């Protein structure tokens, strides 16, 4: 459609030269992609803290995701038999719900989610 209109208006060839685009010359090596600053491992006074905090935050997110996956699975109706790994050891429990930061078991126990290191069926 554009060629047809252009052919009607002009002679079919573009005689005008387009303006050049500015390109600045880079005279040094660029290695700025190697310099990174992160505030995840620093506190408010700009002191380094242990990286365990980052691992703990990731682990808590992973545990919460696993718990949600258990409760949202198609075979969960009102209870789920799971294995819970904590610092005190490994236990098999029957969980029935979640309230705040705790898992509720069939035996009326509360297990803090922050104490859980792993959970699986």
CB 97 within 8 A of CB 80: no
Asked whether 94 and 109 are in contact (CB, 8 A), the reply is: no
Whether the pLDDT of residue 41 is over 70: the answer is: no
Q: Residue 119: which pLDDT band, with cuts at 50, 70 and 90?
A: very high
Mean pLDDT of 108-121: 92
Confidence band of 67 (pLDDT split at 50, 70, 90): very high
CATH code of the region 48-121: 2.30.30
Mean pLDDT of the chain: 78
Contacts of 95 (CB under 8 A, 6+ apart): 70, 79, 80, 82, 103, 104, 105, 106, 111
pLDDT tens for 2-39 read 544 444 455 555 557 878 888 888 777 766 666 665 66
What are the residues whose beta carbons fall under 8 Å from the beta carbon of 97, sequence distance 6 or more? Answer: 71, 103, 104
Q: How confident is the model at residue 48 (pLDDT cuts 50, 70, 90)?
A: low
The pLDDT assigned to 96 comes to 96
The predicted-structure confidence for 91-107, as pLDDT tens digits, reads as follows 999 999 999 899 999 99
């Amino acid at each position: 459609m554009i060629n047809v209109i252009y052919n009607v208006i002009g002679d079919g060839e573009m005689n005008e030269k387009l303006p050049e685009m500015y390109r600045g010359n880079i005279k040094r090596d660029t290695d700025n992609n190697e310099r990174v600053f992160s505030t995840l491992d620093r506190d408010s006074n700009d002191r380094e803290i242990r990286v365990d905090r980052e691992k703990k935050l990731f682990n808590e997110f992973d545990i919460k995701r696993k718990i949600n996956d258990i409760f949202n699975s198609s075979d969960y109706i009102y209870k789920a038999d799971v294995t819970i790994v904590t610092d005190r050891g490994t236990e098999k429990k029957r969980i029935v719900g979640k309230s705040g930061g705790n898992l509720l078991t069939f035996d009326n126990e509360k297990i803090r989610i922050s104490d859980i290191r792993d959970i699986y069926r």
